Structure 1
């Protein structure tokens, strides 16, 4: 289950980093457009400006595709978690999405640590058998 949590946490972080990279590329494109409005042809050859603008557009498109892929995977994981019911769902959600320790989950839900460990093992076995998390690693 710990691997599932780390994977999910890494996935969320990757999405955030990719979104920051897109924002940066968009800002750079806007800066080029603003700066070059006054300097194209004088200090910067038009062909160089166009190459840089095309490169930025391609990067933004590539990053957007990666984000969509990552978000689709995140939705698939969340759908798989939603397939659990009752205690299994709560344990899976608290462990994978919120990253809580089994001891904390047991205390929060009012069960023994041993029982939560058994439930967690069942959830882990089910997630591994569906290969939803591990097939992309």
Structure 2
């Protein structure tokens, strides 16, 4: 079972969270220079804050690209209609409990627990092989 997509998805998730934080901080800093406590100071070309608008645009572009990549991964994996993928998607992407997954797909909770245990062993094995 190839689970590189899950690794890629989780990496994108972390990257997106980091970019969103960076964007929020940059926009907050720009507001300080435009209408806040720093608005009375004049920026020079050499000032770090002088390129905030360009920096914000770069962050927005990178954020949009990563969100698009994440959406493509979800679109791709949604085409794989195996129980294993449904468990992985439910548990690690949608944040559902194994009980919720069992109920949603009409399997016994124990069966889903067993399948999940097998998947975790496979995931660990794949991770070890990647080292």
TM-score bracket for this pair, using the shorter chain length = 0.5 to 0.7
What CA distance in whole angstroms lies between the structure 1 residues aligned with 2:50 and 2:32?
11
CA deviation string 1:42-73 (max 9, x = no partner)? xxx65556x7333x111101111111110111
Question: Given the two structures, how large is their TM-score scaled by the length of structure 1?
Answer: 0.57
Aligned counterpart for 1:81 among listed residues 77, 80, 83: 77
Displacement, 1:33? 2.0
Secondary structure of 1:38's aligned partner:
coil
What CA distance in whole angstroms lies between the structure 1 residues aligned with 2:29 and 2:85?
43
Question: Given the two structures, how large is their TM-score scaled by the length of structure 2?
Answer: 0.60
Secondary structure of 2:80's aligned partner:
coil
What CA distance in whole angstroms lies between the structure 2 residues aligned with 1:37 and 1:87?
57
Match of 2:10 in 1: 9
What CA distance in whole angstroms lies between the structure 1 residues aligned with 2:63 and 2:78?
22
CA pair 95-37 structure 1, distance change in 2 beyond 3 A: closer
Match of 2:89 in 1: 93
What CA distance in whole angstroms lies between the structure 2 residues aligned with 1:86 and 1:12?
23
What root-mean-square deviation, in Å, do the aligned CA atoms of Structure 1 and Structure 2 show? 3.8
Please tell me whether Structure 1 or Structure 2 has the larger radius of gyration of its CA atoms: 1
Structure 2, gaps ≥5 residues long: 108-113, 123-131
Structure with larger RCO (C-alpha < 8 A, sep 6+): 1
CA contact (8 A) 2:44 2:50 kept: no
Match of 1:63 in 2: 59
What CA distance in whole angstroms lies between the structure 1 residues aligned with 2:4 and 2:50?
40
Task: Give aligned pairs, total.
Answer: 115
Secondary structure of 2:39's aligned partner:
helix
Structure 1, gaps ≥5 residues long: 125-137
